[in-house]
């Protein structure tokens, strides 16, 4: 049984509901691809954004976006495969900004995993599994653990996890079981935490995931073009998405427009999962 709560007053202006003004939004993997597009979309809605990056420097991008939208864009370096670095990251952000309204746990690595029968040694077998689980699943869980304490203390917050359509369907012709398993875990993590945190405060902590289909980013850019042609043939809308076609779902989930949305996965895949 869940707590019964009073219905809040909500205004009907979409402009206000979707606004991210005065919000502090943190985006992991924010230096490229889907994450970078989310950063710019948040900024365009008035959000102050903190980019978490690993290797690619983001100082120039940050200045550009800051000037374009007149918001604050900050950045912190963090290797999300290390739990100590994640803990330190959230400590530093809270020391500097006192709050986090939105966390997008988006960083991840690609899915060219090979088949389960292809391994030639125990080392190769273990490495191929653990590499993907470590970044695409465990690092997301650790980010959730540290943001959870912050949200609990604040009594509010929106957590958005980047899953994938691979959480729901099997992409053909790739062999990518570790990636699919990790992303299915991420989707289920969002649902589990939505329920786990629903009892806190006034019901203002929400957790959701976004499941993109094939998107033109660095990650897919590494793939053989004959493979990308196949992806387009298998996608009802007949093409790959641009990152900007994915980031609107994140704006909705980050903003007050989604105050009654929790435990949901938003699929943005050009219809791939329908067939
Ligand atoms: P991308 O390569 O542009 O972005 C991935 C980001 O994750 C990079 O900025 C990278 O620096 C960061 N990252 C990776 N390992 C890290 C680590 N150890 N520490 C810190 N940061 C790290 O690719 P993208 O397509 O924008 O991917 C973003 C997310 O979207 C990923 O989780 C990916 O699985 C997911 N996704 C992508 C697609 C697609 O078709 N591109 C489809 C579904 C889901």
Ligand 1, atom 33: closest residue by C-alpha:
108
Identify the pLDDT of residue 98. 98
Is the ipTM above a cut-off of 0.85? yes
Strand order in the sheet with 24-28: 73-77, 48-53, 24-28, 102-105, 157-162, 205-212, 265-268
241 Cα nearest atom in ligand 1: 40
CA pseudo-torsion sign 44, 45, 46, 47: negative
DSSP H or E run through 207: strand 205-212
Give the pLDDT band (50/70/90) at residue 172.
confident
In this structure, are residues 136 and 182 in contact, taking their beta carbons and an 8 Å threshold? yes
Distance CA(41)–CA(47), nearest Å, equals 9
Between 238 and 56, residue with greater pLDDT: 238
Whole-structure pTM value: 0.98
User: What separation in Å is there between the alpha carbon of 249 and the centre of ligand 1?
Assistant: 17
Contact 80 CB / ligand 1 (< 6 Å): yes
**Known catalytic membership, residue 179:** yes
Q: Is the CB of 174 under 6 A from ligand 1?
A: no
Note if 183 is an active site residue. Answer: yes
Tell me which residue has tokens 């897919």: 220
pLDDT in tens, 2-24: 999 999 999 889 999 999 999 99
29 lines ligand 1 (CB under 6 A): yes
Q: What is the mean pLDDT of the chain?
A: 96
CA dihedral 248, 111, 136, 273 (to 10 degrees): 50
Q: For ligand 1, pick from 28, 35, 183 the residue to mutate: most ligand atoms within 8 Å of CB.
A: 35
């Amino acid at each position: 049984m869940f707590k019964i709560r009073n219905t809040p007053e909500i205004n009907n202006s979409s402009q206000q509901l979707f606004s991210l003004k005065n919000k502090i939004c943190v985006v992991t993997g924010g230096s490229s691809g889907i994450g970078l597009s989310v950063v710019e979309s948040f900024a365009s809605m008035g959000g102050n954004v903190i980019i978490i990056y690993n290797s690619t420097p983001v100082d120039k991008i940050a200045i550009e976006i800051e000037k374009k939208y007149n918001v604050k864009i900050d950045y912190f370096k963090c290797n999300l495969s290390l739990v100590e670095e994640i803990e330190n990251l959230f400590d530093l952000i809270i020391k500097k900004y006192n709050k986090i309204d939105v966390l997008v746990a988006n960083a991840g690595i690609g899915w060219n995993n090979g088949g389960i029968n292809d391994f030639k040694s125990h080392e190769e077998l273990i490495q191929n599994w653990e590499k993907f689980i470590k970044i695409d699943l465990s690092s997301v869980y650790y980010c959730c653990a540290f943001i959870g304490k912050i949200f609990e203390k604040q009594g509010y917050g929106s957590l958005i996890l980047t899953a994938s359509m691979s959480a729901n369907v099997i992409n053909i012709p790739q062999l990518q079981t570790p990636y699919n398993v990790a992303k299915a875990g991420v989707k289920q993590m969002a649902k589990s935490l939505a329920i786990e945190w629903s009892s806190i405060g006034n019901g203002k902590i929400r957790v959701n995931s976004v499941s993109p289909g094939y998107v033109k980013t660095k990650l897919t850019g590494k793939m053989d073009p004959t493979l990308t042609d196949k992806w387009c043939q298998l996608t009802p809308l007949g093409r790959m998405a641009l990152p900007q076609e994915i980031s609107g779902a994140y704006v909705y989930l980050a903003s007050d427009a989604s105050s009654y949305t929790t435990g949901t996965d938003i699929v943005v895949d050009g219809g791939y999962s329908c067939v």
